Amino acid sequence: MTIIVSGTGIAGMSAALAAANVGHRVTLCGHLASLPPAGGIQLAPNGWQALDQLGLFDAAIKRATRLNHIVVRDLDSGATLTRLGLDNHYGSIGRADLLDLLQGAVATHSAITYHPALISQAVPHKDGVNLVLDDGQSMMAAALIAADGFAGLGRRLVTGAASREITYPDRVAMRADIGADDLPAVFAQPASNLWLGQGAHLVHYPIASGRRINFAVTLSARLADSHWQAKIFGTNPLFEQLTTGQFQWIKTSVSPACSPLCWRLGRVVLAGDAAHIMPPHLAQGAGQALQDAASLQRALTAAPNIDDALSCYARQRASAVSAIVRKADISGKIMALGGARGRLRNIMISLAGPSFLQSWLADVWAGDPAMAQTTTKRTA
């Protein structure tokens, strides 16, 4: 019987590949969205490990930009607070590039069938899941991998929670993808840059081999008016061009980090945003979705039957992700500090040095130890 995957984002397509890679026939349900025109993703070592396990490392690295450092600076003064050197498993990739790569891999995999419809009803039973789709068709599946988002059917079915998005009422993000030729050359340097301000922070890094720069500013909603650029960037001459209004910024909500305790109901399991909301504070949204898929692939390979595989996957990932979710929440609160507390934060980061940043991120980047035993050493 076929495994059905709901959701056609990074998590859904990765999960479909994971199940197909170990010999299952897979139907991927959902509507393929058009590729986003802009935007980037940072992938830490755990993300590259997962891509390797899924057989996508070589194709992804050709589209990626190697990042050599994480640099933390004071947004107001421009002073460098700390600089962490990165090994060869850290890089950025355009969101459209990663989605295009996944779409191509799904389309060419002989064991995956794409069905352009949404699942409107799912009834688990001991031998699988009965499904009704919004095009009127009914299906039976050996299992359902629900990667249909935080407000999707899968999470509601498994957890009983209401199907609605949860966002911070007082925090928003402003995002832009700007050509490197329109900015000072320093922006194209191969580093992930975090600027900590008073109640706001900025992240930027190059994508597309340094031809474009991805920006994300997280700030208080009360500051996000028509003059927000001047308020955030006005004190730092490096960002003078960003205050002119010549670039298009997209305003998005910021969701709090969260993950349910239970990821499984019978033969329905969660993956991606359906299982965990990762705000941008640790740059782990895509990385954790890919890690879900790689862990699912390993569980389906190692377990004697599908029930044991789903149980193992859900138990191990729920435990591992809960710690990362807590760390993402703490990171966001630290980055949002302003006034005297914000100044004290910057002093403490400067005094602690790169070793503290390394230790803070080590368990987040560790990936799956069981997968690491079989992952070939790569150069990103």
| DSSP track, 218-274 | EEEGGG-STTHHHHHHTT-GGGGGGGSS-S--EEEE-PPPB--S--EETTEEE-GGG
pLDDT for 376? 45
> Can you list the residues of the chain whose pLDDT is less than 70?
88, 162-168, 368-380
Q: pLDDT tens for residues 237-295? A: 899 889 888 899 999 888 888 888 899 999 999 999 999 988 888 999 999 999 999 99
CATH number of this structure's domain 3-166+256-372, picked from the four choices 3.20.20.80, 3.40.50.150, 3.40.47.10, 3.50.50.60:
3.50.50.60
pLDDT for 379? 43
pLDDT for 89? 82
pLDDT for 224? 86
pLDDT for 181? 95
CA–CA distance, 358 with 133 (Å, rounded to integer): 46
pLDDT for 371? 53
Q: Take residue 79 and report the two structure tokens written for it.
A: 């002073």
Q: Provide the CB-side half-sphere exposure for 325 (13 A, CA).
A: 18
Domains of the chain by residue range: 3-166+256-372
